[in-house]
Every structure is written in structure tokens, then in C-alpha cells.
A and B are shown apart, each in its own frame.
Chain A
Amino acid sequence: MHGIKRRELTQEFLSKKRARDAEKIVTYRTLTKRVLDAKNEENYTLENLNATTRLLELNPEFNAVWNFRRDTITHLKDELDVVFWDQEIRFTTQQLKLFPKVYWIWNHRVWCLNAYPGSPVEKWQQELLLVNKLLTMDARNFHSWHYRRVVIKRLEQMTRTSLNQQELDYTTAMINANISNFSAWHLRATLLPKMFALSEIPNVKDFIQKEQRYITNAMFTDAEDQSVWYYIKWFVKSDCVLKVLSTEEYKIMLQELKDGIVMINLDEMEFSGKENMWCLKLLCFLETIQVEELGLDIDAMKPEYLRKLVSFDPLRKNRYRSLAEKKMILSRRDAC
């Protein structure tokens, strides 16, 4: 049970609930028995199909009933017309609006779309509207995001057209609406490598510069949020950047990002008297690339950052200590 508030139940409430439950239990158990008996007898009829509708409305998590429903539909396939299939899709839409986190309903939805006569492309296109709507209701529902990937993949196969640009635009819109939507940042980070590989970005160098401005803007907008920091961590090590920028350009980009982060951190110090943990974490990360991968001879601030992190972010102090020790072991080895 997730997110259900605990209540202090009075005796009166409990006895009323018992009385109400007694009736509901009889209805539910009678219906369950009927459906499971029919399932056991492989009795695939329209009446039993309707019984599964009623039961699934009471309990959308009853997977054996979803299974029986699919078996029944498969057996009655020749008698069922498009009106039936549209109704079946509407049924799962209603269910998803009420229970957007139930795996079984999503699973049934995919099955329906695949089993729909001819599985036409228009039906799959409509699915995007549903997903958009559900993602407006809950922008982080990972079922919706997963289903979106399933639908897009299917549409791309059917139409032999890449939808990467459309999806990239969607992530931009979602991030602009809420910069903490990591699900959208995630999708963005998985789309770009595909788009680079398929030469879908006309001017790659220009794109990388724009992206750098976009993320710089994002980190200045909300430096408390992890999403953009994870994205930056990905961006600076991704092939999209490494294969496009020359080493000199790469060095400049890293330094610009660091300068921006230092500035955010100073602002925060001035504003709240505290340093920003994520700024310090990213500064460590970027300095490691500069020193260990590019061999730059810069003033190493990492030990200082790590020391600060141990006190500002004590939940993770052992991580910082372990990074500091590793650093010392490496430098001792260098000295030998």
C-alpha cells in the first residue's frame, strides 16, 4: 500500500465498515468464483467476458482475470467487430485513468493494440494522445514513459520514419514546463546518441553549443534539483560531445561549465550562507576529467571540495572519504 494515510478508526466506524464490507465481500467472492470457474472450464462466452469487466472494475490487479479476458477475446475473435475493439480500448483508458500505476492494465493495453484487427497505424498514433494526457496528470509516471517508448518504437517500425526529432521536442517542452522532470532529461539523453548516429542533427557543433547553453541556463534556474546535474554528468562524457569537439574545444567547455558552477555556488553562499552540495559534487567530477583524462595541470581543488562535502552532505560522508583516500593512494603511487 503506497501513500494511504493511517487513520484512527473508531469502533463505530469499524462496525459500519464491517457491515458494508460483508456485502461487498459476498458480491466480490461470488463474481470471482463465477469467473474462475468459467476460466477453469475454458468457457469462453460474451457473458463471461462481461463478468470479467465487472470484476476488473472491482479489482484491476487481478491478473488471472485479465488473462482469462484475453483468452476469451481470442476465442471469440471472429464474432467481434471493430466496435468491440474500440470499446475494449476505451475500457482500458478508463482503467488507466483510475489506476495509472497498475502494470496489468498497461500490459493489456499493448495486447489490445497488437490484437486490434489490422493493428492500424492510426490506432497507435492515438496512443500518443493518451500518453500525453496521462503525463500531464503525472509527469513522472514511469509506466506512461515506458508505454510511450513502446508506442514510438512501434510507430517507427510501421511508418519507417524516425520520430527522434519529435520526441526531442517533447522532452524540451516537458523540461521547460518543469525543470525537475528527470524522466524527460532521461529520454533526452537516450535520444541524442541515436540522433547523432543517424546524422539527424544538421550542424552538430552548433547543436552541442546550444545544448551547453540550455543546460547552463537550467542549472542557473534550479541548482537544488538533481536532474540537470545528472544530465550534465552524462553530457560531458557522451560521445555526442567527445566525437564532435576538438580537445581544445572540449577543455574550454569543461572550464566554462566549471566557471558557471562556481558562480552558482558563490551566489548561494551569499544568499544562504551555505555552499551548494551538487555544485561541489559536479566540480569534483569535472576536475577529475580535467586532471585524470586530459592531464591538465590545474590547481587541484578536489580534496577541498571533498572535505567540505563530508560536512555539508554527511549522509554520504563515507563516499567522499573513500574518494579522498583513493585520490591519496593515486598521488602516493605517482610519487614513487
Chain B
Amino acid sequence: MSKLDKESHIRYIASLDSKRDDYEYWLSEHLRLNGVYWGLTALCVLDSKTTFNRSEIIAFVRSCWDFKAGAFAAFPGHDAHVLTTLSGIQILAIYDALDVLLEKPGDGRDNSDSSNSSNMKTQCVAFLRSNQLSDGSFQGDRFGEVDTRFVYAALNALSILGQLTPEVVDPAVEFVKLCYNFDGGFGLSPGAESHAAMSLTCIAALAVVNKLDALSPEQMENIAWWLCERQVPEGGLNGRPSKQPDVCYSWWVLSSLAIIGKRDWIDFDKLREFILHSQDPKRGGISDRPGNEVDVFHTCFGVTGLSLMGKDNLVEIDPVYCMPASVTQTFKKYPYHEQ
């Protein structure tokens, strides 16, 4: 297949919420808010943002509020997590609806007093900060799982909210530096093997807080080398040496390279070919690799990867936030300067 079938991908994403007869639909509730973010981001890149109903989606985001933890869960009645809190905030930001967070949680009708300390924004910020541990890392929730994914998610969310502080940023940067490995990749925690997804979370975490200079020029060169070695002869990118290629690494690897200014160190045409071969020509959507079952996650990272390469006339995506560049332009960039 030599062309990106935009129309069928848009139809595929639009159809996701109508699959309630499928058992799998219910089994994936714990990823619903993340799924909405992946779907919406893909639609934005495909220049079809209005395919989703804005007010319905915003109402769904609100309904995912976890009153006990004071942040967003994946689905109503589930538990808040750093990852899903980021998804909720990203969706609101894409809809230019961050003001919703200035309201109290609930149906939103009772008040919209922004000075009230218990509005959702204040609670989200407190939740994110409370999950930072003494070594600068972040746990995903109160049960203590630590992973560089959560560092990135927390810094990303705080950045969107304009609430980064040196108290949060400086130790987080120190932690990220410890996750750097000799081969030029990053692991999920200090000592863990390099993995392309964790490399993105570390590089983008540093970029979000404007601290890429925490890495030495030699490290940068090593990082770029390790990342470009992820491209395999089939054209796709893998996450670690001797592993199979997977469309989602089109995002993890390419956005990392884009952030450090080495986007063209891989072959765009070969990668594009791999992504396009992973489309489902009949039902739309993109899978992890050619011939496999599609899903919204790989559809998102397939089209965002193509956008990073400037291919197929797609809307520009920001490699640091994985959101449309037109949205992220409006974010206040750290370090904040007094106006």
C-alpha cells in the first residue's frame, strides 16, 4: 500500500466507541482515557479534530475524576494514576478547555470559583507533586511503582498546567540522568536495560523542563547513534537490539531524534513504507507490524510518526508533548520568567 488511507483511519477511530458488542471493548476500560487521547491526537494529525464530539469528550474526562485521589482515572469509578491524569489534561488542552480544571470536580454546575483551593487544577498539581519520591523519581500512584514513564508524564502534565518548580524539576533531572546507559539509551530506572520508549520519556522529560544540556555532547552523540540503530532492514524501528520492528517505535525513536535535532539519521522513505504496510486496508487503523490486528495506540503513533517526517500532508505534531504543535505553542515554557 503506497498511500495513507486517511479516510478509513478516521472512520476506524470514530467507530471505536460503537464496539460495545465486543468483549474486548469492556476489557479495555482501564485504558479508556488514554485511548481517547490517542484517538483524538491521531484525529488532530489527520486534520479531523471535529470527528469526536468536543462536549461529550470533555464530559467524559470530567466523569473520570477520582474524588479520593484528586486526579483522573482511566474510567469512572477507577483509580487515579499519573499516566491517566496526563491523558485527561492533554485532552482538555487539545480542546482549549483547561479552564474546566478551575472548577470543582463533579458535574461542574455548582461553581467555577478559580480561587477555590479545591478546584481540579489545584488537586491535580498536588496529586502529581505528591507522587514524586525523594530521589526525584515519580511513582505512578500510591503503590510505589517507579518508572521513567511517570517522570515524563508528571513533568509533561505540570508543564501543560504551567506549574513546574525547581523543587520538582531539579531532582527529577538528576533521576533521569541516572537512567542513562553506556550504550546511549535509557532504562525505566537506574540500572535497567535501554529501551526506546524509556529513552523518549527521559529525553522528552529533559526537553519539557528545558534541561537537555544536562546531557554531555558525548552522551548526545551516543544517544543519537543508539536511536538510529533501531531502524531495521524492513524499514521499521525496534525498541531494543535484536527485537522485531513495531510501529509505535516510529514515535518513540523518531520523536527522540527530533528533540535532539537528528531526525534525518534514519531513512524516512523506508519507515514510511513500513507504517503504510501496517495499515488495515479494509477496516482502517494501523497495527504494530504488517498483517497484525490494528488498535488506536498504533494508529496514533503511526500517523504521528508520519507527521514528524513531514509526510502525507499531515498536521504538525510536537515531538516533546505528542500533541499538535498549534496547541503546545500556547504553553508557558519552563523556566518561567516574571511577566
Contacts and interface: CB of A to CB of B under 8 A. Distances in A.
A316 interface: yes
A28 interface: yes
Chain A facing B: main interface SS: helix
B211 interface: no
Contact of B291 (A5, A64, A187): A5
A142 B145 contact: no
14 contacts: A1-B294, A4-B293, A6-B292, A36-B77, A40-B77, A61-B27, A63-B141, A70-B143, A146-B189, A182-B242, A186-B181, A186-B194, A189-B182, A316-B266
B170 interface: no
A145 B195 CA distance: 13
B30 A63 contact: yes
Interface residues of B, number: 56
A248 to B, nearest CB: 25
A225 B242 contact: yes
A39 B79 CA distance: 10
B265 interface: yes
B231 interface: yes
A281 B310 CA distance: 29
Given A21-B23, A59-B30, A149-B191, A4 B183 contact: no
Contacts of A226: 229, 241-242
Interface string B264-302: 111100100000000010000001100111110110000
Contacts, number: 141
B182 A63 contact: no
A7 B141 CA distance: 38
B267 A314 contact: yes
Contacts of A317: 267
B78 A64 contact: yes
Contacts of B26: 25, 28-29, 32
Interface-central residue, A3, A67, A319, by most chain B CB under 10 Å: A319
B246 to A, nearest CB: 7
Nearest to B267: A315
B292 A64 contact: no
Given A24-B23, A316-B266, 19 more contacts: A1-B295, A2-B288, A6-B291, A63-B30, A70-B143, A103-B147, A107-B143, A140-B242, A145-B193, A146-B189, A182-B241, A225-B242, A227-B242, A314-B267, A315-B266, A316-B229, A318-B264, A318-B265, A319-B224
A230 B185 CA distance: 11
B79 A63 contact: yes
Contacts of A182: 193, 240-242
Nearest to B232: A315
